[in-house]
């Protein structure tokens, strides 16, 4: 494909709408059982939702399951095991769901008494609905990323670098998906982007890291 035939990069923005499911868990066993049937949008929300809607939990707990295990069940061992689960390492939400269940089942096997949370600290399952906006901004050439990405909103970073992984055929971000259209020309850049883990960080930090990567790469190219 000629570069002239490649469509410009369409910059989108997004927000996550939290939708209450009415489903709750008070004990660790209930959590395990409810996880088996909960809507996959809930798994997505409880791993990724805090990036767009910070919930003032302990910074080392990037997902709500780990945070609840620590604050409500007072099980630091379980909280740490859940906290290190990186959702980017799983092909889909179903695989991620199973990993959480496996970790909880392992903990249930180890302990003598099933921990319960106070009624006021039950885990409330929430699912998410993403709403996408077209900013009408277009990037014609890859080198423009070095000057434009620093102006991306947090919602744009989330949509193109995180949410894209469940939309694209190869579970990749929109930047690499677009760059791949240019053939092998930007394969090195794509590899550099792939090394950035979007989970154990914040959206402003992600924007900074990506912006610096593009600036460094295209300055080196010059």
DSSP output for 123-137: EEEEEEEEEEEEEEE
Number of domains in the chain: 2
Q: Among residues 127, 149, 166, which one ends one of the domains?
A: 127
Q: Are 156 and 135 in contact (CB under 8 A)?
A: yes
Residue 168 confidence (pLDDT)? 82
Q: Are 32 and 107 in contact (CB under 8 A)?
A: no
Q: How far apart are the C-alpha atoms of 125 and 46, rounded to whole Å?
A: 8
Q: How far apart are the C-alpha atoms of 118 and 151, rounded to whole Å?
A: 44
- Residue 215 in domain: yes
Please tell me whether residues 95 and 51 are part of one structural domain: yes
Q: Are 104 and 29 in contact (CB under 8 A)?
A: no
DSSP state of 108: H
Please tell me whether residues 55 and 96 are part of one structural domain: yes
Angle at the Cα of 197 from the Cα atoms of 140 and 19, rounded to 5 degrees:
85
Could you report the per-residue pLDDT of 102-140, keeping only the tens digit for each?
999 999 999 999 999 999 999 999 998 899 999 999 999
Helix or strand holding residue 18 (H, E)? strand 9-25
Residue 57 confidence (pLDDT)? 47
Domain carrying residue 150: 3-13+137-221
Please tell me whether residues 120 and 173 are part of one structural domain: no
Please tell me whether residues 107 and 167 are part of one structural domain: no
Q: For residue 22, count other CB atoms closer than 10 A to its CB.
A: 6
**Beta strand 123-139 pairing with 9-25:** antiparallel
Please tell me whether residues 120 and 33 are part of one structural domain: yes
- Residue 185 in domain: yes
**In terms of residues, how long is the chain?**
222
Q: Which residues of the chain have pLDDT under 50?
A: 57-58
- Residue 132 in domain: no
């Amino acid at each position: 494909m000629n570069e002239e035939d490649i469509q410009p990069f369409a910059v989108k923005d997004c927000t996550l709408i939290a939708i209450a499911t009415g489903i709750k868990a008070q004990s660790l066993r209930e959590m395990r059982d409810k996880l088996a049937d909960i809507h996959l949008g809930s798994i997505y929300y409880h791993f990724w939702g805090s990036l767009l809607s910070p919930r003032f939990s302990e910074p080392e707990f990037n997902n709500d399951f780990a945070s609840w295990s620590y604050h409500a069940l007072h099980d630091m061992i379980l909280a740490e095991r859940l906290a290190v689960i990186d959702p980017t390492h799983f092909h889909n939400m179903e695989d991620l769901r199973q990993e959480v269940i496996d970790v909880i089942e392992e903990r249930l096997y180890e302990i003598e008494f099933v921990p319960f949370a106070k009624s006021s600290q039950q885990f409330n399952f929430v699912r998410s609905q993403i709403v996408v906006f077209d900013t009408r901004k277009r990037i014609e050439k890859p080198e423009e990323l070095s000057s434009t990405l620093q102006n991306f909103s947090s919602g744009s970073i989330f949509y193109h670098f995180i949410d894209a992984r469940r939309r694209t055929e190869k579970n990749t971000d929109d930047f690499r998906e677009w760059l791949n259209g240019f053939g092998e020309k930007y394969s090195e850049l794509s590899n550099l982007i792939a090394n950035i883990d979007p989970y154990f960080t914040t959206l402003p930090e992600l924007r900074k890291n990506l912006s610096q990567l593009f600036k460094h790469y295209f300055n080196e190219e010059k």
